[in-house]
Amino acid sequence: MAEAARTFTADDFAPAEVRTDLHGIARPSQSYWQDAWYRLRRNRRAIVSLWIVIFLLAFTLVGPLLWRVDPYAQNLDRISQPPTLAARTLLVERGVQWEGVTLPDWPAAPSSAWLLNPERGELPPPERFEVVGDPHTMSVRLRWSPVANAAGYQIYRNTYRPTAVNELGLPLGETWNGNEVGYEDQLALTPSTYWYSITATDGERESEQFVTIPVDVELATTIDNALMRGLIESRDAVRAGEYVSMPANPLGTDYLGRDMLARLMHGAQTSLFIGIAAPLLFVLLGTIYGAFAGFAGGRTDDFMMRIADFVIALPFLLFMILIRVASGIGPGESGILPLLLALVILSWPATARLVRGQILQIREEGYVEAARLLGARDHYLILRHMVPNTLGVILVTLTFAIPTAIFTEAFLSFIGMGVAPPVPSWGSMCNEGLKSMLNSPHELFFPALLISITVLAFNLLGDGLRDALDARMRSRE
């Protein structure tokens, strides 16, 4: 490639202008915390987690102010109800007995020819089996077609579809004549789907053949009861057969008919309180202990760390339970404090070790030596150099300690060694929900979901903080 010919002028040989602005720092200097906050903000997962944590705190602190339902109020009408946004109840008059159905021109007893026949076989079940009127929790009316040579009928009720005669269980009721073909179930039910079955009997032997129908039972309340509970203003304003709305349970109810949303909010107060207060306390304790040991050094350090080693060697869950038992829970106490105490007693050494290691490392740094040479005192060194340089590590430890503490609380409450009932906590709610898992999964699902989301959010936030705060522990992604 040929170079373009160029002529030089005197200007080309003039001395360059001295520009001092090039040597200055172009951007404003960033402090450690500004830099960390900038890094954290760029981590989308951590920011989403941060919002989830804020939402959870709002759910816990503000939630009960907005949703003023008593988490301890039991409502035996509404046991294990699935989530609904609009709950309503049918109004009925109090206890009007149904006279049943009796067919005047059908024989009440089997013919003697049938009874005397030794090889007569089994009676077939009724051909038709149906519900009369609206089935509701105060009464379910059933009628069926008569069976020839029947001396009566047995009615069964189950919460599942029976597939064999031995799954029917004990009869709910029976009629004593072949022409009595109506039955009213007045046992107070909870609204759900029930399976009614019927068999015929000839007076000596019950048939093993049955028919089954599913019945969706809706909630009904007598007008008197509704008045008493303040659901309606006065007797005259309503008539039987109308619906009135009731306080809804957006997340359903538990096995005692308590509102799940209110219990989850109050349970969050327990779980998050333990989950945040305990790590705060033991990280603080561990930091002071570790910093002292690391700063003192020598024999004091050896002795203090040996104690920490022993506490670490204790089997964690076993001693959580032991300390919880040893501190004893009197009647009416929630058991939150013993749990907190046990967590603090058993968890501080890990932080102490970490902080001690950091302090030992920082002690040898050049800048500390320089500060010492310049005549800095101990408290200046600690406050100015050691604390700020370990704060990031401590903060990360704290964030990771929170999900562990929440997990521990949930575990202990789950095996009945945590918070004492009726105080709700997410773990004990899971334990209660486990028993009715097959029929009403929401009782287990919601508390389990909240535990998982909380632990997940704190874990991801911890990852983000670690990447943002601590260059040495930064994960290689």
Partner 1 sequence: MWTYTLRRLIQGVITVWFIATATFAAMHMVPGDPLGSDRATTEAIRANLEARYGLDKPVFPDQYLIFLGNMARGDFGISFTQQNRNVNDIIREAFPISAQLGILAVLFAAAGGVLFGALTALYRNRLPDVVIMFLVILGISIPSFVFAALGQLGVVRLNNLVGQSVLPVAGWGTLQHMLLPALVLGLGTMAFLTRLMRSSMLEVVNTDYVRTARAKGVPPLRIFWRHQLRNAVLPVITVLGPAIAAITTGGFVVELVFAIPGLGRTFVEAVQQLDYTLIMGTTVFYGAFLVLMVILVDLIYGWVDPRVRLS
Interacting residues with partner 1 (CB under 8 A): 310, 313-319, 321-323, 325-328, 403, 407, 410-411, 414-417, 427, 430-431, 434, 437-438, 441, 444, 448, 451-453, 455-456, 459-460, 475-476
Nearer of residues 200 and 420 to partner 1, judged by Cβ: 420
Kindly state the smallest distance separating residue 299's Cβ from partner 1, in Å.
18
> To the nearest whole angstrom, how small is the minimum distance from the Cβ of residue 251 to partner 1?
17
Residues 6 or more apart whose CB falls under 8 angstroms from that of 108 comprise 151, 177, 178, 179, 180
Distance CA 304, CA 312 (A): 13
Write the CB contacts of 192 (distance below 8 Å, at least 6 apart in sequence): 159, 217
DSSP string for residues in 407-449: HHHHHHHHTT-SSPTTS--HHHHHHHHHHTTTT-THHHHHHHH
Task: Report, in Å, the least distance between residue 474 CB and partner 1.
Answer: 12
Task: Give the side-chain half-sphere CA count within 13 A for 408.
Answer: 28
Asked if residue 177 lies in contact with residue 127, where contact means CB atoms within 8 angstroms, the answer is no
Strand, helix or coil for residue 87: strand
**Which residue lies nearer to partner 1 by CB, 91 or 430?**
430
Shortest spacing between CB 356 and partner 1, in angstroms: 19
Smallest distance, partner 1 to C-beta of residue 281, A? 20
Beta-bridged to residue 136, according to DSSP, are 139, 218
Question: Using an 8 Å Cβ cutoff, are 429 and 360 in contact?
Answer: no
Nearer to partner 1, 140 or 410 (CB): 410
- Pairing of the two strands 193-201 and 173-175: unpaired
- For partner 1, the closer CB: 52 or 108: 52
Would you say 148 or 321 has its CB closer to partner 1? Answer: 321
Considering the complex, state which of residue 226 and residue 420 has its C-beta at the smaller distance from partner 1: 420
Closest approach of Cβ 460 to partner 1, in Å?
7
Output 187 or 318, the one with its CB closest to partner 1: 318
Q: How far is the CB of 270 from partner 1 (least distance, A)?
A: 16
Q: Looking at beta carbons only, is 344 or 410 nearer to partner 1? A: 410
- Identity (one letter) of the amino acid at 437? M
User: How many Å from the N-terminal Cα to the C-terminal Cα in the chain?
Assistant: 46
One-letter amino acid at 404 equals: T
Minimum CB–partner distance for residue 147 and partner 1 (Å): 32
Q: How far is the CB of 414 from partner 1 (least distance, A)?
A: 5
Measure the CA–CA gap between 386 and 158, rounded to whole angstroms.
69
Closest residue by Cα to residue 305 from 316, 289, 288 = 289
Minimal distance in Å, beta carbon 346 to partner 1?
10
Phi and psi dihedrals of 91, rounded to 5?
Answer: -90, 135
Residue 239 burial (CB count, 10 A) = 10
378 with 312: CB under 8 angstroms?
Answer: no
d(CA 321, CA 418): 8
Query: Closest CB to partner 1 among 123 and 461?
Result: 461
Identity of the residue, 246 or 350, whose beta carbon is nearer to partner 1 in the bound complex: 350
**CB neighbours of residue 131 within 10 Å:** 16
